[in-house]
Amino acid sequence: MKKSSNWQRNLYFLWVGNFMTGMGFSMTMPVISLYVASLGHFTTSQLNLLSGFAFAITFLAKAIVSPYWGKLADQYGRKLMCLRASLGMTITITACGFAPNVTILIILRAIQGCFSGYINNANAIVAASVPIDRSGKALGTLATGNVVGTLVGPLLGGALASSFGYRGSFFVAGAMMLVVFLMTMFFVHEDFTPVDKVQLQPMKQVFHTLKYPMLIWGLFITTLVIQAANMSITPIISLLIKQLMHHGGQVAMVSGVISSLPGVVTLIFSPILGSLSDHIGPEKVLGAGLVAAIVCFIPMSFAQNVWQLGVWRTLLGVSDAAMLPAIQTLMTHYVQDAFGRIFSYNQSFQAMGSVGGPMLGSVVANAFSYQGVFMMTAILEGFNLIFLVPATWALVKNGGTIREQQRAQAKQQQLAAKTVHN
Handedness of CA 7, 9, 14, 16 (dihedral sign): positive
Mean pLDDT lowest among 75-79, 122-126, 324-328: 324-328
How far is residue 9's CA from residue 404's CA, in Å, rounded to a whole number?
Answer: 30
How many domains is the chain built from? 2
**248 and 218: one domain?**
yes
Please check whether residue 69 lies inside any domain of the structure: yes
| Arithmetic mean of pLDDT, 153-171 | 82
How far is residue 388's CA from residue 127's CA, in Å, rounded to a whole number?
Answer: 22
pLDDT of residue 84: 94
Count the Cβ atoms, other than its own, within 10 Å of residue 65. 19
By percentage, how much of the chain surpasses pLDDT 70? 86
**105 and 248: one domain?**
no
pLDDT of residue 249: 67
Mean pLDDT lowest among 75-89, 211-225, 237-251: 237-251
Count the Cβ atoms, other than its own, within 10 Å of residue 74. 25
How far is residue 374's CA from residue 364's CA, in Å, rounded to a whole number?
Answer: 10
Nearest Cα to 109, choosing from 177, 70, 61?
61
How far is residue 195's CA from residue 340's CA, in Å, rounded to a whole number?
Answer: 12
Please check whether residue 195 lies inside any domain of the structure: no
Per-residue pLDDT reduced to its tens digit, 184-218: 999 998 887 776 665 666 777 777 777 778 888 88
Nearest Cα to 61, choosing from 357, 347, 358, 360?
347
pLDDT of residue 256: 67
Per-residue pLDDT reduced to its tens digit, 322-344: 887 788 788 877 776 666 778 78
**32 and 88: one domain?**
yes
Query: Per-residue confidence at 175, pLDDT binned at 50, 70, 90?
Result: very high
Q: What string of DSSP letters covers 176-237? A: HHHHHHHHHHHH---------TTTSPPHHHHHHH-S-HHHHHHHHHHHHHHHHHHHTTTTTH
Please check whether residue 207 lies inside any domain of the structure: yes
Please check whether residue 67 lies inside any domain of the structure: yes
**292 and 359: one domain?**
yes
By percentage, how much of the chain surpasses pLDDT 90? 19
Quick check: 58 pLDDT over 60?
Answer: yes
Nearest Cα to 195, choosing from 367, 378, 108, 73?
73
Of the candidates 189, 221, 245, which is a domain's last residue?
A: 189
| Arithmetic mean of pLDDT, 60-87 | 88
Q: Are 170 and 96 in contact (CB under 8 A)?
A: yes
Q: What angle do CA 270, 336, 12 make, to 5 degrees?
A: 40
Longest dimension (CA), the chain: 86
DSSP code, position 362: H
**180 and 206: one domain?**
no
**102 and 42: one domain?**
yes
Quick check: 5 pLDDT over 60?
Answer: no
Most confident of 120-124, 127-131, 412-416: 120-124
Nearest Cα to 51, choosing from 235, 264, 301?
235
Of the candidates 189, 212, 241, which is a domain's last residue?
A: 189
Burial of 76 (0-12, 13-18, 19+ CB in 10 A): middle
**144 and 213: one domain?**
no
Please check whether residue 157 lies inside any domain of the structure: yes
pLDDT of residue 322: 86
How far is residue 142's CA from residue 300's CA, in Å, rounded to a whole number?
Answer: 29
**263 and 338: one domain?**
yes
**155 and 278: one domain?**
no
First CA to last CA across the chain, in angstroms? 33
Residue predicted with more confidence, 270 or 198: 270
| Arithmetic mean of pLDDT, 123-129 | 83
Per-residue pLDDT reduced to its tens digit, 94-107: 999 999 999 999 99
**210 and 271: one domain?**
yes
For 42-120, where are the E strands, in sequence order? none
Burial of 96 (0-12, 13-18, 19+ CB in 10 A): buried
How far is residue 261's CA from residue 345's CA, in Å, rounded to a whole number?
Answer: 28
| Arithmetic mean of pLDDT, 275-286 | 83
Helix, strand, coil percentages in the chain from 3-state DSSP, rounded to 5: 85, 0, 15
**388 and 241: one domain?**
yes
Of the candidates 189, 215, 239, which is a domain's last residue?
A: 189
The answer to whether the predicted template modeling score (pTM) of the entire model surpasses 0.75 is yes
Please check whether residue 194 lies inside any domain of the structure: no
Mean pLDDT computed over every residue of the chain: 81
Count the Cβ atoms, other than its own, within 10 Å of residue 359. 15
Length of the chain counted residue by residue: 422
Mean pLDDT lowest among 58-62, 161-165, 256-260, 272-276: 256-260
Residue predicted with more confidence, 221 or 248: 221
Q: Which amino acid is at 135?
A: S
Nearest Cα to 372, choosing from 199, 240, 207?
240
Query: Per-residue confidence at 1, pLDDT binned at 50, 70, 90?
Result: very low
Please check whether residue 325 lies inside any domain of the structure: yes
| Arithmetic mean of pLDDT, 349-375 | 84
CATH number at residue 79: 1.20.1250.20
Please check whether residue 233 lies inside any domain of the structure: yes
Burial of 60 (0-12, 13-18, 19+ CB in 10 A): middle
Per-residue pLDDT reduced to its tens digit, 229-241: 888 877 677 677 8
Quick check: 158 pLDDT over 90?
Answer: no
Residue predicted with more confidence, 135 or 265: 265
Quick check: 92 pLDDT over 70?
Answer: yes
Per-residue pLDDT reduced to its tens digit, 14-31: 999 999 998 888 888 767
> Buried b / exposed e across 159-194, counting CB within 10 Å, b at 16+?
ebbeeeebbbbbbbbbebbbebbebbeeebbbebee
How far is residue 23's CA from residue 261's CA, in Å, rounded to a whole number?
Answer: 17
How far is residue 219's CA from residue 30's CA, in Å, rounded to a whole number?
Answer: 30
Domain with 32 in it: 1-189
* Residue 230: half-sphere exposure toward Cβ, Cα within 13 Å: 26
**211 and 271: one domain?**
yes
pLDDT of residue 295: 92
